[in-house]
Amino acid sequence: MIETQLWRVDPEAADLENDPQIKAAAKCLSDGEIVAFPTETVYGLGGNAKFNDSVRKIYEAKGRPSDNPLIVHIATMEQVREICTEINPLAKKLMDTFWPGPLTIILPSRGEVSDAMTAGLSTVSVRMPSHPVARALILASGLPIAAPSANTSGHPSPTQADHVLHDLYGKIAGIVDGGETGVGVESTVIDATTTPMTILRPGGISREQLEEVIGPVADDPGLTRPDQAPKAPGMKYKHYAPEATMYLVPAGKTRIQELVAHEKNSDRRVGVLTTEENKKDFPQADVVLTCGRRSEPESVAHNLFAVLRNFDSQDVDVIYSETFAETGIGQAIMNRLSKAAAGRVIE
């Protein structure tokens, strides 16, 4: 076990790049250590993207399979050009529209980043986060930062520094605490080396938003086929899972009520994941947690991972979850719920 430092930073402070706490975290990165930091989506676990040993520490701390590639976080277009061989016109349009922001773009690699980070692929996943603390840390370190979510592999992604402490205390050099994250689900990942471009992971930028800028996009088969080698994070392995067995129930609250009533004949504690609109409809459940308002899907995305983690403290044995329309950010919500439930659906 190593000592994990905690650096608290006000994301609204001026001149963050020169903040002593940011400089201390940046020094750890420069020394080859790994640190967690907030982005606008979730907390990331960062290391020097060019240094094999730093990347290895990320995989080891998370318990993450080494064939699951990482995303490089950058703060300037100069950094993109340093690590990518080309930026095609459509990719540039996406950058101009959505960067800084929750969009990761896959481009041809120049070979400047660690092979361990790209999982041996000829492409590299690049993102320019909009969170001021993330941007200040990248600039202060002078490095492209490899960063998956800062959680134990398979657990719900962290949206608060406390979530990182729970999973990774004693395994990483430090955590930059910049408060709660905003979007709540990870970035959208799109492959700019295919025609049409291909969504590898739905996230904070919706399909509809992408298509407004570049026209039709495709879904990668790896979104639904676990036998495919992963080209981006979140495509192959079980993710976001609470400790209890979780089921998705597309039929809605009446079917969930039936399932909860049936469980009362067992010794299992039953949880329901629902929305504010329906929270009073499951009086027989042992635990009812809400992830936001159905009428405001952005609130569901923002709260989803925190609610999944909350179930772990409620000592439930089974969770029945509402589902959501797969339009807009609903596609990302359902992608995360399906993985959290390991594909288990009750009709």
Is 140 annotated in a binding site? The answer is: no
Cβ distance 257 to 284 under 8 Å?
yes
DSSP state of 231: S
User: β-pairing, 103-108 with 123-127?
Assistant: antiparallel
Q: What CA–CA distance (Å, rounded) separates 347 from 337?
A: 15
Does residue 149 have a known ligand-binding role? yes
240 is in an annotated binding site: yes
Which two structure tokens, joined as six digits, stand for 91? 């990719």
68 labeled binding residue: yes
127 is in an annotated binding site: yes
Task: Please tell me whether residue 53 adopts helix, strand or coil conformation.
Answer: helix
- CA–centroid distance for 198 within its chain: 18
Q: Pull the structure tokens for residue 209.
A: 């938003």
Please tell me whether 125 is known to bind a ligand: no
* Residue 64, marked binder: yes
- Structural contact between residues 272 and 285, judged by C-beta atoms closer than 8 angstroms: yes
Token pair recorded at residue 318: 């089974």
Q: Residue 153 and residue 156: Cα distance in Å, rounded?
A: 8
Q: How far apart are CA 17 and CA 28, in angstroms?
A: 15
Is 147 annotated for ligand binding?
A: yes
Q: Is 135 annotated as a binding residue?
A: no
Residue 255 marked as a ligand binder: no
Residues belonging to the binding site are 41, 64, 68, 73, 123, 127, 147, 149, 157, 187, 201, 240
Annotated binding site for L-threonine: 41, 68, 73, 127, 147, 187
Binding residues for ATP: 64, 123, 149, 157, 201, 240
